[in-house]
Amino acid sequence: MMDWKQIGPYLFPLLIVALIARRALRSQKPQRIRPGRLWIQPGYLGIGTLAALSNAHSPGVLGILLFLGGTAAGIGVGYMRALHQEFSIDPETGNVMAKASPIAALLFIGVFVLRFGLNYLMQKGAHVPTHSGQLLVYADAMLIFAFAMSAASAWEIWRRTRPLIAEHKSSNGPPPAIPQA
């Protein structure tokens, strides 16, 4: 019989992984970019990162430096990832279309699972490497990297799609008036 007290702490992380995996699978075909919804994936990743860090030990000076380095590297990689995406406007609907890369989501899922797996093994007293506490700090830095990459990418996509949408709206003019009877 399942003991829900042992499984309970892992249900929320599994929900986060499932939501991120779903978004990664859906992003394989050209999709409509909704600038107002670009915050959703970074939101999931931010919640997952905060959940992972909420039960973390004090990272120390090296850990804080790793977190800052992960943040800076994630912002740089996320910006470059979004910078190299091509966007187009569907002339009929005015929707911005792009094929998203699932790299950030898959990276986050892998690191998230690694981090919770290490934490689980350490709590169960299983044999883990001597510096396992430091491994968690590295895994946490990778989670921060993935979050920063996703957030920077979403920001750059939002920034680049706004002028496309404005240009499309201005070129089409106002919608035709409906004659009244």
Is pLDDT of 1 > 70?
A: no
pLDDT for the residue 128: 54
Task: Give the rounded distance of the alpha carbon of 37 from its chain centre.
Answer: 13
Q: What are the φ and ψ backbone dihedral angles of 88, each rounded to 5 degrees?
A: -140, 160
CA nearest to 81, candidates 20, 3, 148? 148
- pLDDT > 90? residue 42: yes
Task: Note the pLDDT of residue 75.
Answer: 95
- Alpha helix (H) ranges present in the chain? 4-26, 40-54, 60-83, 103-123, 132-172
Mean per-residue pLDDT of the chain: 79
pLDDT digits (tens, 9 = 90+) for 85-104: 778 888 788 888 887 666 66
**pLDDT of the residue at 62:** 87
Question: Which of 94, 114, 68 shows the shortest CA–CA distance to 161?
Answer: 94
31 near 70, Cβ under 8 Å?
Answer: no
Give the pLDDT band (50/70/90) at residue 125: low
Instruction: Report pLDDT for 129.
Output: 57
Q: Judge contact between 31 and 98, C-beta under 8 A.
A: yes
What's the whole-number mean pLDDT along residues 4-30?
Answer: 73
Q: For residues 181 and 178, give the distance between their C-alpha atoms in angstroms, rounded to a whole number.
A: 10
Higher-pLDDT residue of 101 and 42 is 42
Distances (CA, A) of 155 to 37, 81, 90, 100, 164: 11, 11, 21, 14, 15
Rounded Cα distance, 129 and 131, in Å: 6
Please name every residue paired with 82 in a beta bridge, in sequence order, or none if there are none. none
Would you kindly state where each structural domain of the chain is located, as residue ranges? 41-169
